[in-house]
Each structure stands twice: as C-alpha cells, then as structure tokens.
Amino acid sequence: MAEAQLQQFLNKIQQLNAFVALSEAQPALRDALRNCDSHHEVVALAAQFGFDIGRRWGDTIAASAAESSQHDDQANLFSHPCPGDGTEQIDVLAQGAQWRLERIHSCNASSAEGHWYDQEEQEWVLVLRGSARLQFEDEPGLRDLCVGDLLYIAPHRRHRVVSTDPDPGTLWLALFATADG
C-alpha cells in the first residue's frame, strides 16, 4: 500500500470513529442510523454531518469521480487531506470582480494571540465539517459553530478564530464580497 493510500485508509477510519462517537452522543442520530436500510443511506446520513465515509480507501479521487459519473470539471470539497496541525489551507473556488468563494480547511487552528480580523469585505461562512469557536470584539461571549451553521460577518466587524477541530479538521465555505457587491 502506498503512503497516500495508507493516509486515505486512516482518514476513513478516523471519520468512521468520529461518526460513531457522534451517534452515541446524539440519540436522534443513532435512531436515524438504525433506520437506514442500505450502505448508501448510511453514507448520505454521515455526509449530512460532514463525514466522508463513502469513498473506498483505495479509490483515487479520479476513480471515484468516474464511478459517480462526474465530469472532469467537478471537484469534491471533502476530498483534500487535512492541512498540518495548527494551520489552514485556503482554496479559491470561484471569483468575480466583486466576490470570491473560498474553501477553508482548518486543522486545530486559531488566530494568533491578539490578532483580530478587520476585513473590508462582507463575509458569509458555512461550516461543512467539524466545529469552530469564534470571538467577536462586540460580543461578551464566544460563538460556537458546528456542521450546517452559517454566519454573516459585516465589513470591519472585528473577529478572531479561537479554535477549530483537529484532524480531519474544520471545513468552511466562505463567500466574500465588497460592500456594494
């Protein structure tokens, strides 16, 4: 087994273990899992909670795309490996004159001590996998986000990332636009 395949295998095991742990902590999820009649239903249920357990560990992304009848111009937001501990990987997925769509993958990451984001742009963010804790300068407490949570951040609203999940990390979809865009 090549190292890349080993990492893919280990990542799938981690995702399965995390999904099982979540199902044990959430009775409603456990009931939904119990009601699944096929492997495909389990994979779809797991995906609703941000877990990618469907791809076989030996499949390459290209092979999985071919099996799914996907086209070469399609990508999978969940298919990239987790970045290094304490880091983020930012990929621009699409952009126009006054906007850009980013995939942000954070692994046990946080803003540097004392650093506040103070952006010119407005930001809309959606958590696709994992969780995060944010702090806004104008709020007394911390804001917890998990899979499916979305948030709008107005221009110049100072905020910082307090924490994100360890491997497989926190996966965000973020849309940035100029105030008039």
- Confirm whether 110 is domain-assigned: yes
How many structural domains is the chain composed of?
2
Confidence label for 170 from pLDDT (cuts 50, 70 and 90): very high
- Confirm whether 79 is domain-assigned: no
Q: Within this chain, do residues 58 and 25 fall inside the same structural domain, yes or no?
A: yes
- Confirm whether 18 is domain-assigned: yes
User: What is the tens place of the pLDDT at every residue in 1-46?
Assistant: 577 778 777 887 888 888 888 888 889 989 999 998 776 678 778 8
Look at residues 21, 46, 172 and name the one whose alpha carbon lies nearest to residue 109. Answer: 172
Q: Within this chain, do residues 102 and 41 fall inside the same structural domain, yes or no?
A: no
What is the reported pLDDT for 156? Answer: 96
Q: Within this chain, do residues 165 and 92 fall inside the same structural domain, yes or no?
A: yes
- Confirm whether 74 is domain-assigned: no
- Confirm whether 145 is domain-assigned: yes
Q: Within this chain, do residues 60 and 103 fall inside the same structural domain, yes or no?
A: no
Coil vs helix vs strand at 24: helix
- Confirm whether 53 is domain-assigned: yes
Distance (Å, whole) CA 13 – CA 122: 37
Q: Within this chain, do residues 32 and 97 fall inside the same structural domain, yes or no?
A: no
What is the reported pLDDT for 49? Answer: 83
pTM, to two decimals = 0.61
Q: Within this chain, do residues 92 and 173 fall inside the same structural domain, yes or no?
A: yes
- Say which amino acid occupies 164: T
User: What is the tens place of the pLDDT at every residue in 72-99?
Assistant: 455 778 878 888 999 999 999 999 999 9
CA 76-170-45 angle, to 5 degrees, is 60
Q: Within this chain, do residues 22 and 50 fall inside the same structural domain, yes or no?
A: yes
Q: Within this chain, do residues 41 and 115 fall inside the same structural domain, yes or no?
A: no
CB-CB contact of 55 with 12 (8 Å): yes
- Confirm whether 157 is domain-assigned: yes
Q: Within this chain, do residues 128 and 173 fall inside the same structural domain, yes or no?
A: yes
Q: Within this chain, do residues 48 and 105 fall inside the same structural domain, yes or no?
A: no
pLDDT at 69 over 50: no
H/E segment holding residue 102: strand 99-107
Which residue segment(s) compose the domain that 156 sits in? 87-177
CATH of the domain at 173: 2.60.120.10
Question: Can you read off the two tokens belonging to residue 44?
Answer: 């779809």
